[in-house]
Structure 1
Amino acid sequence: MTGITGQDGGHLAELLHREGYRVFGLIRGQNNPRKASTQQQYPYVTLIEGDLTDFASLMRAIEISSPDEVYNLGAVSHVGYSFRNPVLTAEVTGKGVLNVLEAVRMSGLAETTRVYQASTSEMFGGLDYNRPGAGYAEDSLFHPRSPYGVAKLYGHWIAKNYRESYGMFVSCGILFNHEGERRGPEFVTRKITQSVARISLGLQDHIELGDLWPKRDWGYAGDYVRGMWQMLQHNEADDFVLASGTTHSVEEFLERAFLEVGITDWRPLVKQNPDFLRPAEVDVLLGDPSKAETVLGWRRDVDFPGLVSLMVKHDVTEQKSLLL
């Protein structure tokens, strides 16, 4: 698994361990500050040093682990950051996918190893519905609106190319926004829930955000990694959208988060910061998960209110513990 130190990596490591897998995680750099905490949190994971931009290290990781399944979750995954660092985003999020696929192929495991590629709803870009009134499906038009979305689209298409050209079992999960208590604080949902928790405890007096009107299809990360695993248990490699099929604005997320701590008059506590506005914003992202539900039997356990409640309660508890 690449991306072991990220939100999805942690959830997936736990799921694979429960299913009886021996789990290997690629971790970047010999002095990675997350190495010790990752090893402590997931002691059953064997960490291998490597980098998505270093083909030789990927070959070595494949040789050491001899994997039955590869989950490529590693990426420069923050949309805003990708505008500031587009070259790095292309190298890691785009070309890194090619490096993983080629490492599997060159290792002689193309016929036996199943590969999961983490694609994203950002490839759609919020434009050009080919089914008006419905969510984006696997065959919808792509129109990425950020360097991150463009890089992910390259990864998506090269994954499909290896599936079609070499007969490799490569499935792409086109996941819409999935959040949770392990989300990094640089992402808007976790920034909101951490700030709301701190405001409720008197540790912070306001929160600074960009636009509040964009709408997203939000779900819980723990549900979505189960879908990743189900894709590689299916008898055929394919592409699958994982989504909730509903949208909610950033403003709705804010309102519900503040209500969790009993604050109804929340607008004076929120300020707009121009630094958080993007050069090109995606208005609405709505997914259609019907294929995954029908073919894989995938289901979500956590709805939008449950997601916000779960995150706020976790962050209130966490912030309280920091005060002790």
Structure 2
Amino acid sequence: MAGVSRAFVTGASGQDGSYLAERLLADGVEVHALTLSGEVPEFLPADVVLHRGDLCDVAATRALVADLAPDEVYNLAALSSVAASWEDPDLSAAVNGGAAVALLESAWRVAQAHDKQVAFVQCSSAEIFGEPSESPQTEATPLRPVNPYGAAKAYAHLMTGVYRSRGLHASSMVLYNHESPRRSPRFVTRKITSTVAAIAAGTADELVLGNLDARRDFGWAPDYVDAMVRAARHEQGDDYVIATGASHSVRDFVAAAFEQAGVSDWEARVRVDPALLRPTDPTDLRGDATRARTALGWAPTLEFTDIVKRMVETDLALA
């Protein structure tokens, strides 16, 4: 961490942003965050310096980055819903693709202007692999996204490599699904645990979902934030798959949540709504994090059932 005094974080209002801010502050780093609204996000520490702005406003964001001259830049901002990317593919392309590349350019300009290393971390996604040609997926797996979200993320992922070849300390973190009690209820995992808790409390009758057979590699969000920081402080930038190596279906997640809530006859309480099915949905995404384990010394700390348990316990307390 030598020489790291200031960090700039986009997308700080999400679960990853709050965990990342806590981690950076604990390391003694001054944290600046870009937020769309003037309100302080629920879990964001008070010591974070907030800057109101839109990542798609390239000129304003570039001026801010130039003024701050951060040592580390973490781009967590995204139109993070695959479903929303189908509804507004133009916005998904602008935020997840174009704005990310503009931020890379801003970081590169700071590095050149101040003759210093600026570590850039791009939060990519397993959705760049789409319907993958192999399983588990590695950094060498061909990119073949099947939705607007994945396509935009693939562009930013590739451009991170372009800027790395240009001399920027740039890393792209290919993050697989990662969860925590701070996950927004609009994500399927938190929708599951919050609804299951409500059913257990007697305030809801059923859980309505889309594709129960989709399989994903579920990890613990703070672990994935740890990988981001390790990548930023590694001697050189690179691409890293961040995953547990095990996949579970949405049905598995539902069953584990109901078990943690003490509800046994759960099948009758779950209904599949065809309206929630995506036009295309990868059937099985599972990552091989060998490079991150070897180069960064990174490893996940929680198993699948422990992640579900922590989320259900939080939602039971709220219910």
Scaled by the length of structure 1, what TM-score is found? Answer: 0.93
Q: 2: CA distance between counterparts of 1:149 and 1:110? A: 34
What are the within-5 Å matches in structure 2 for residues 67-146 of structure 1?
Answer: 67-107=70-110, 108-109=113-114, 111-129=116-134, 134-146=135-147
Q: Are the aligned partners of 1:241 and 1:287 in contact in 2 as well (CA < 8 Å)?
A: yes
Three-state SS of the structure 1 residue aligned to 2:79 is coil
Is the CA contact (8 Å cut-off) linking 1:136 and 1:287 kept in structure 2? yes
**Is 1:36 the equivalent of 2:44?**
no
Q: Which SS does the other structure have where 1:36 is aligned?
A: coil
**Runs of at least 5 residues in structure 2 that lack an aligned partner in the other structure:** 1-8
Specify which of 12, 15, 30 is matched with residue 7 of structure 1: 15
Alpha-carbon distance, 1:106 to partner:
3.1
- Decide which moves more: 199-208 or 107-116: 107-116
Alpha-carbon offset, residue 139 of structure 1: 0.6
Choose 46-55 or 107-116, whichever is displaced more. 107-116
Cα distance in structure 2, aligned partners of 1:105 and 1:74: 18
| Deviation of 1:109 (Å) | 4.9
On the 8 A contact 1:189/1:253 being kept in 2, the answer is yes
Taking a change above 3 Å as real, the CA distance of residues 294 and 37 of structure 1, as seen in their structure-2 partners, is closer
Between the two proteins, what is the percent identity of the paired residues?
A: 39
Shift of 1:36: 3.0
Q: Secondary structure at the match of 2:40?
A: helix
* Corresponding position: 1:53 with 2:61: no
C-alpha contact 2:131 2:282 (8 A) present in aligned 1: yes
Report the AA paired with residue 105 of structure 2. E
1:83-140 superposed Cα distances (whole Å, 9 cap, x missing partner): 01100000000001111012223342574211000111000113211xxxx4100111
**Structure-2 separation of matches of 1:306 and 1:226:** 18
Tell me the equivalent position of 2:210: 210
Equivalent residues of 1:215, 1:284 under 8 A apart: yes
Q: Deviations over 1:141-182 (max 9, x none)?
A: 111111000000000011111111x21110111111101111
Give the match for residue 6 of structure 2: none
Aligned position for 2:5: none
- The one-character-per-residue Cα deviations of 1:222-245 (angstroms, maximum 9, x if unpaired) are 111000000011101111111000
Please say if 1:287 is aligned against 2:287.
yes
Following TM superposition, by how much is the alpha carbon of 1:46 offset from its aligned partner in structure 2, in angstroms? Answer: 0.2
The separation in 1 between residues aligned to 2:69 and 2:230, in whole angstroms, is 21
Q: How many positions carry a matched residue from both structures?
A: 309
Q: Could you tell me which residue of structure 2 aligns to residue 322 of structure 1?
A: none
> In the aligned structure 1, how far is the partner of 2:34 from the partner of 2:256?
37
Q: In the aligned structure 2, how far is the partner of 1:78 from the partner of 1:174?
A: 16
Q: Distance in 2 between matches of 1:155 and 1:200?
A: 42
The aligned residue for residue 175 of structure 1 is 175
Q: Output the TM-score relative to the length of structure 2.
A: 0.94
- Residues 270 and 110 of structure 1: is their aligned pair in 2 closer, same or farther, counting only changes over 3 Å? farther
Query: What SS does the corresponding residue of 2:34 show, helix, strand or coil?
Result: strand
Residue 69 of structure 2 is aligned to residue 66 of structure 1: yes
